[in-house]
Structure 1
Amino acid sequence: MNLFLKHFNIKSELEPYDIIFENIEKGIPFKGTNLWILFFAIIVASVGLNVNSTAVIIGAMLISPLMGPIMGLGLSIGINDIDLLKRSFNNYVVAAAIGLVASTMYFLVTPLDEAHSELLARTSPTVYDVLIAFFGGLAGIIATSSKLKGNVIPGVAIATALMPPLCTAGYGLATMQWYFFFGALYLFFINTVFIGLATLLTVRFMKFPLRSWQDKRKEKRSNRYVTLIVILTLIPSIYFGYDVVKTTRYEERVERFIEHEANFPNDYLLKKHINADKKEVTLIYGGELISEAQIDSVRQQLKKYELHDTKLAIQQGFAYLNNNHMQDETNAALNDQMLKLQGIKSKYDSLMSLQATAGQIYKELKVQYPQVRSFVFQPVTVMADSVKQEIWLSIISHSGNISNQDRIRIGQWLKVRSGQDSIRYIYDRR
C-alpha cells in the first residue's frame, strides 16, 4: 500500500517555495505586456464567439493571462498575505474590466449580432462547469508548483474557460440582452471562486510557509481578515455548487420528459425553453394542430419525472402567427431546421453525383482496358505525422497485366476526366 501511495507523492518534484511564489506573483500584474495580451486575446475570443469558431476561441484562451490574479488570490489567502491579496484583487478587477470593455466595444461594431451555440453555451452554468473549474484549478496550482510543468498550464487555461464568459457578458452588454450579461458573469464568477478555492486548498495541503509579521497585532488582524475571506469564499462556493447541481438535475428531468412524453403525431419540436428558476417549460411545435386533450394528457405525465410544480406551455408555431414575437421565434426555428436539411441534402446530392461520376468513369475505363474488373474512386483524408492531407483514392482491380506505360496513361486520363490533381492509385490484380 505504501509503495502504491508513493507514486502520488509530489514533494520531491516541488520547486522551492520562493520560486513558486515568484512564478505566481509574475502573472498577477496587468500592465504593459500583460494588459495588451489580454486586450488582444479578448478581441480574438470575441471574434471566435461571433463566428462560432471553437478553434479561434481555444487559441484565444491559450494566450490569455487571466489565470494569474486568480491564482494570486488563492495563494495570498492560503499564506495569510494581505498585501498580495490586495494586489491580486485589484488586478483581477482591472482584468475583468478590460475584458468587459474590449468585448463590448467589439460587439458594438461587428455587423454579426446573432447568438450562436458558442455564445449560448456560456450563459447557463452546469455542475460540470463547477467541477472543471475546481479540478482545473488543482491541476494549475500543482503544475505551477512543480519542476515538471509540461503543457499543463495551457490545458488548464482552455479547460477552465475564463475568457468566453467574459466576452459573452460583453455581448450581452453591447446588445442590451441582460440574460447573456448576468448569466455569463455568473459563470465567470463561479470559475473564479472555484479556481481560487482549489489554489487555497492546495497551498494549505502542501504546507506553504505562512506570512509572518513582526507586529503581532497586525498579524492577528491579518489572520482575522483571511479567515473572514475564506468563509466568504466558501459560502458562495457551496451555494453556487448546490444551485448549479439543482438546476442541472431539473434540466435533466425536463429533457427526459420531453424525449419520452412530449411527442405528438405529425408534429415536430421546433424549439424549447427551460427556465429552472421559475420552473417553466415552453415547447414550440410545427405541424398539425395539437388538441387541448393531448396537451392535458402530456401535462399529467409531469409527475412521473418529479416536475410537479412545473408550468408547461405548449405553443404551435403555425397557430400563433398573430403574435409577432412568436412569429419571429417560429421563423428563426424553421430557418434553423431548413438550414440543417439543406446541409443534409447538399451532402446527399454530392454523394449521388460522386457515385454517378465514378460509375461513368468505370464504363469509359472498361472500354479502353477490358481487363479492368472493378473501380473505386472517392475522396479520402491521409494523416501522417500530424499532417492532414485531402486526396482522391483510385483502386483499380484487374485481371492480366497493365503495363507501367498504361498505368501512366490511365493516371493522366483520370486527372483530366475527374478534374482532380491529387490522386493516389492502387492496382489490384485478381
Structure 2
Amino acid sequence: MDNSLKHFFSSLRDHIGNIVNLNEHIDTEKASQYIRSNIEFKGPNAYILAFAIVIASVGLNTNSIPVIIGAMLVSPLMGPIFGIGYGLGTNDTSFIKTAFKNLLVMVVISILASSIYFLVSPLELENPTELLARTNPTIYDVLIALFGGFAGIIEISRKDKGTVISGVAIATALMPPLCTAGFGLASGSLKYFVGALYLFSINSIFIAIATFLTVKYLKFPMATFTDPARKKRVSRWVAALTVIIIIPSVYSAVIMIRENNFSHTAKEFISENKELTRSYIYDYDIYSHSKPPKLELYIAGEALRQEEISAIYRSAHKYGLTDDQIIITQRAATDQSEMTDRVAIQSIYERSDKEIQKREHIISSMEKELQAYKSKELPYEQITNELIAQYPSLSDVTLTRGYSISTDSLGRTEEIIIILKAGNRISQENMEKLRKWLTVRLDFENVKLLQQ
C-alpha cells in the first residue's frame, strides 16, 4: 500500500512538472528577435499610433467600451515596454536607452494627438465616467499590469504563438490613460493629466518588471561585452536601475493596498450607520491619500446630540477607525434652509429606500401566498358538470378542502371532501369507483367522498 501510494504521488509530481515546464515550449532566440524588432517606432507605426489614439479618444468621449477595446488592439505601445524589461534582464543598456526613447516619443505623440482631438471635438462630455476611471489607479491596476506582463512575455517567448498579446493589450489598457492625459492637457485639468500619467506609469513599470523577472527566469542570452570592466560597470548600472524602478513600485503597490482597504472599511462603516436616530448620512468623502486617511460624513436631519456623535465614534472603532479619522459635517442638519436640491433629493431617497424595500418584501410574500392559494383552488364547476354527466340524478354537489384532525396526537391531514346528494342512491361500489376517479382527476390522494 505504501509503495503504491509513493508511486502515485511520484507520478502526480512528474505529471504536474511536465505541465508547468516551459523549457520545451520556449524559444528565447526568436523571442529576442521579436522584441528587438518591435521597439522600432517609425514609418507606419507612427501613423497607426496616432490613429489608434484618436479612436480611443472617441471611445472615451462617448463612453463606448467596444471602441476603446478596438483602439487598444491597434496600438503598438506594448513593444518598447517589453523592450525595457528585456534590456534590464539581459544587461543591454543601449537597448534600454533605445526602447525608453521610443516609448517617450510614443507617449508625446499620443498625448498631442489626444489633446488635438479634444480641442476640436464637437462632442460634449456630460458624464465622462470612462475618463474618470483612468485617473485613479488602484491595486487592481497593479495586479493586471504585473500578470498581464507575465502573460505577454511568455507568449512572446513561446514557439507556437497565439492571441495572448491582444488580450494583454486590452487588459493592461495602456492607451486610455494617455488619451485621458491629452484631455487633461486640452481642458487645463491637472487632475486628469497627472492622474492619467500616473496610471500609465504604473501599468508600464509593472509590465516591464514582469518582463524583467521572466527574462531572468527563462535565462535569455545576456548582452556580450569584450571589456570585462565595462561588463561589470553595466551590470551595476542595470542592477541600480532595476532597484530604482522596483522599490518605488512596491512602495506604491503597498500604499494602494492600504488605500483600497481603508475605502472598503469606510464604505462598510457607512452602510452600517446610514440611518441615525433623527438624522442620516446623505453623502460622504473618503480622503484615502491623507495621513492618516480620513472619512468625512455629511449629516442631514436634526442636529446630532453629543451621545449620538459618541455612538458614531464607537461604531467606527469596531471597524478599526479612530476618532481623528472621522470628520462629521452637520451644515445640512443645523441649517435646513441652505440644503441644496441635490441634498433634498438624496434625503428623500435615503429615507424612503428602506421603507420601499420593506414594502417590496411584503408584496413578494403576499404574491407567493396568493400563488399557493390559487394552486389549491378546486375546479368546482367543471367537476360538478363531469359528475352530473356520469350520474344525471345528482341534485347537489359539495366540494371543499379541509383537514382531518387526530384526537390522539392532534396531527392533521389535508383532505378534499366531496358530498353528493342524488335522487337515486349511488351504490357503494360505484362510490369507490368515483373516489378513485376523483383522486386521479384532482391529482390528490386524500379524497373523501360522502353521500347524503
Q: TM-score, normalised by structure 1?
A: 0.70
> 1:147 and 2:159 equivalent?
yes
Q: Deviations over 1:153-209 (max 9, x none)?
A: 110001111111222222222223222222222211111111000000000000011
Q: 1:43 aligns with which of 54, 66, 71?
A: 54
Q: 1:207 aligns with which of 197, 213, 219?
A: 219
| Secondary structure, counterpart of 1:213 in structure 2 | coil
| Secondary structure, counterpart of 1:211 in structure 2 | coil
Q: Gaps (5+ residues) in structure 2?
A: 1-12, 354-452
Tell me by how many angstroms 1:271 deviates: 4.6
Letter in 2 for 1:312: I
**Counterparts of 1:266 and 1:53 in 2: how far apart (Å)?**
43
Q: CA RMSD in A?
A: 2.8
Q: 2:88 aligns with which of 71, 77, 98?
A: 77
Contact 1:282 1:315 (8 Å CA) reproduced: no
Instruction: Write the mapping of 1:101-180 to structure 2, written as runs, cut at 5 A.
Output: 101-110=112-121, 111-180=123-192
Tell me by how many angstroms 1:238 deviates: 1.3
**Counterparts of 2:336 and 2:226 in 1: how far apart (Å)?**
75
Q: Give the aligned partner of residue 381 of structure 1.
A: none
When residues 114 and 217 of structure 1 are mapped into structure 2, their CA distance, relative to the original with a 3 A threshold, is farther
> 1:24 and 2:35 equivalent?
yes
**Counterparts of 2:263 and 2:69 in 1: how far apart (Å)?**
27
**Counterparts of 1:150 and 1:51 in 2: how far apart (Å)?**
32
Instruction: Write the mapping of 1:23-422 to structure 2, written as runs, cut at 5 A.
Output: 23-110=34-121, 111-264=123-276, 271-278=283-290, 279-284=293-298, 288-289=301-302, 291=304, 293=306, 294=308, 297-308=311-322, 309-314=324-329
Contact 1:269 1:284 (8 Å CA) reproduced: yes
**Counterparts of 1:272 and 1:71 in 2: how far apart (Å)?**
41
Q: Deviations over 1:235-257 (max 9, x none)?
A: 11211111111111111111111
Tell me by how many angstroms 1:275 deviates: 1.4
Contact 2:145 2:206 (8 Å CA) reproduced: yes
Contact 2:31 2:157 (8 Å CA) reproduced: yes
Letter in 2 for 1:301: S
**Counterparts of 2:117 and 2:331 in 1: how far apart (Å)?**
37
Q: Give the aligned partner of residue 375 of structure 1.
A: none
When residues 58 and 6 of structure 1 are mapped into structure 2, their CA distance, relative to the original with a 3 A threshold, is same
**Counterparts of 2:97 and 2:273 in 1: how far apart (Å)?**
54
| Secondary structure, counterpart of 1:7 in structure 2 | helix
Contact 1:28 1:91 (8 Å CA) reproduced: yes
Q: Percent identity?
A: 42
Q: Deviations over 1:31-61 (max 9, x none)?
A: 2211111111111112211211111111111
Letter in 2 for 1:66: L
Letter in 2 for 1:24: I
